[in-house]
Structure 1
Amino acid sequence: MGSGTEHEDRFRRVYAVNFEALLAYAMRRVDQPDDAADVVAETFLIAWRRSRDMPPEAEVRLWLYGVARRVLANHHRAGTRRERLGERLRQRLRNGVAVDPGSQVPERLTVRAALARLGELDREVLTLTCWEGLEPREAAAVLQVSPTVVRTRLSRARARMRNLVGDDLGPPGHVLDVMTVRTSEEGR
């Protein structure tokens, strides 16, 4: 494509010529002007990163629309996820109002103190599986270790937690339940 300056000059031209058209495109597809601005900014960021793939200027607007379309799809998916999460949180709050969160404080402090005594990898394996609800293979991907390592560490960490905390917090095998706030749905 030529020197860095030529590359920057071309990008500036593409930006100047196409900004308003892309903004109008985004404005017609989102509810809030701020969201349209975010879509356009993300589109041009991707265009900058992939500018070596940009077609000739006569075709670049269509290419930018394609990029913007994918950015909008991600934006809409994220918005849907946020709405679902917000509704789940509102439902949890409505269902959990009768529970006194203070009643679990001593147990939570005990569990946190026991967690602090575990090695870093054991603690991370345990919290990723218990708090985040990840499967051992998913935790392995996050930690960049093998699933076998995660399963071994998880078994050892659970046994160590039972030894550190004891069975005072509930039936054996359920000592980690106090690490999360239970809703009526989860309190099976």
Structure 2
Amino acid sequence: MTRTVLDKEIFCADIVACQETMFRTARAILQNDQDAEDAVQEAICAAFARRDTLRDPERFRPWVLRILVNQCYDICRKRRPTVDLSDVADYLPAAGEDPTERVTLWQAVLSLSDDLRAAVTLFYYDGLSIREISGVLGISEAAVKTRLSRARARLRQLLDEK
């Protein structure tokens, strides 16, 4: 069976169709707009160079998101980020603060760990299925379900939902 390589026009159209998802995913992992933009750009270049490895053009979105996630994790490994406690404190209500002033959902999502935040973003914001997330993140479907469950529990705790 001969594999056909995506031509430039189809590749570009597919990238445009999922560019928001790509940026949102990169932003969720990297928590920085500039790094997210760099990761998306690098992932697009890598995907274009390797477009002959795509077996099923219908699976373009999960394929390119997997490349993007790998790129994001490469950036994370290179920079070994440290978190300033004052940055985290901005997402959580202060001890004496009025209880009606609560953390927004997106702020709570941003305060999750990288692995939980990536799963939540891909599932709830980008609409990927458990199976697609499993392929994108390179983990089992059970691990995706576990991460989503832990993320929901943590979000409930952060948002004081009983």
Highest relative contact order (Cα 8 Å, sep 6+), 1 or 2?
Answer: 2
Same fold (TM over 0.5): no
User: TM-score with structure 1 length normalisation?
Assistant: 0.39
Higher share in helix: 1
User: TM-score with structure 2 length normalisation?
Assistant: 0.45
